[in-house]
Amino acid sequence: MAVKPPVPVIPAPIWRNFKDLQEYEEHRQRRPEGDKHSSLFESITEGIHSFPGGFVVTTPADAFLNWARKSSVWPVTFGLACCAIEMMATFCSRFDVERLGMVPWASPRHSDLMIVSGTVTIKMAPMLLRIYDQMPDPKWAVSMGSCSNSGGPFRHGYHVVKGVDRVIPVDVYVPGCPPPPESLLNGLLLLQEQISHFKRTGVRADPNPKVD
Amino acid sequence: MSYEQARTLIGERFTSAQVDPGTPERRSLGEGGPLVVTLPADQWLPFATFAKETLGCRFFSFLTAVDWKDQGIDVLARLDNLDTTVSVTMKTRLAAGVSQCDSLAPVYRGANWMERECYDMFGIRFDGHPDLRRILLADDWQGYPLLKSYAVDTPYPPYR
């Protein structure tokens, strides 16, 4: 009877390269829940909120800021593989995401959204992480296609990250291989709805019944 | 240079080589092609020199390897004569556990990166290669992923 070799232990996914545990702990305490808070807005609204009757101001202010955030989500132009062709089709005039306020922008410094479109290889993952780190907070990520959702057909390959959520936090997963532009458009609309639930405190968004 | 002439020359010069019969149904390769020559490992470099100088195969098409587990590793390279469209596939079998092979880089400059890739994926050390290091995978990669002994889902921290 053939004896199967032991299944290799896959370490738990972490989002960053940490030199040691202490550094990881420090990072975790400094940014407790994900990467999604804007410290400037947070301090301002915290100040107003602690004022007597301030919540009357801050709750509409949050709604206003979320409306502003969701109405101008700029995706960074970052194409990895064949999904990027569908992403380009989504950006072009037939599907035209610009009517939703999404301007594909060629700089991560001015972008709010990263659409991970394609296979993330182990060699590409540090560059993806660096581009994600260069984006200002608050920022979102959409995982587009089977490859970046889970590794897809290349999941058991030697060189593929089994899902981009092992590298960066992901908000919306768009299935498909590749997803047609309609799917991506639907994912972006779901993302906008999720952004409208965004809380200033840095807590992740409430579970969206349509998404989660 | 035709395939018949090439077969005659190879038969005269390399008596230990085993030349496969051609498959004439592949008409695009010409009459009598393709030519597959299986060599003992010590004839690897002499045959490449012979193919370049005598057969006129000056174009190095590709080099790769096949892992046959217990039976060893096949290394194969394809050489083309672009003037007369004579193509030679040269092939050698490394015994199980052997990962040494002569490098073709001194003869064909095109073999340089191919042999680096072959080293990267199969761990074959090419003797006489000027710059044998990994070409596609990261420098800190452990193991050789296209070997059959490389386990599926081998973890590569921190990403999996």
Q: Is the pLDDT of residue B52 over 50?
A: yes
Shortest Cα–Cα distance, A160 to chain B (Å)? 9
DSSP string, chain B: --HHHHHHHHHHH-TT-EEPPP-TT-GGG-TT--EEEEE-GGGHHHHHHHHHHTS---EEEEEEEEE-GGG-EEEEEEEEETTTTEEEEEEEEEPTT--EEE-STTT-TTHHHHHHHHHHHH--EEET-SS-S-SSS-TT--S-TTSTTSPTT---TTT-
Q: How many interface pairs between A and B have CB atoms less than 8 angstroms apart?
A: 37
Identify the closest residue of chain A to B148 by CA–CA distance. Answer: A158
Q: Which of A53-62, A132-141, A194-203, B53-62 has the lowest mean pLDDT?
A: A194-203
Ranked by mean pLDDT, the top range of A5-9, A34-38, A202-206 is A5-9
Contacts B154 to A, Cβ<8 Å: 8, 158
The 10s digit of each residue's pLDDT in B72-97 is: 999 999 998 888 878 889 999 999 88
pLDDT at A15 over 60: no
pLDDT surpasses 80 at A131: yes
Best mutation target among A123, A158, A166, A167 (most B Cβ atoms within 10 Å) is A158
Q: Quote ipTM for the complex.
A: 0.74
Determine if the pTM surpasses 0.80: no
Mean pLDDT of A69-78: 91
Determine contact: B156 vs chain A, CB below 8 A.
yes
Higher pLDDT, A27 or A72: A72
The better pLDDT of the pair A26, A155 is held by: A155
Judged against a pLDDT cut of 50, whether residue A23 lies above it is answered with: yes
Q: Answer yes or no: is pLDDT of A103 > 70.
A: yes
Determine the residue of chain B that is closest to A12 in CA distance.
Answer: B160
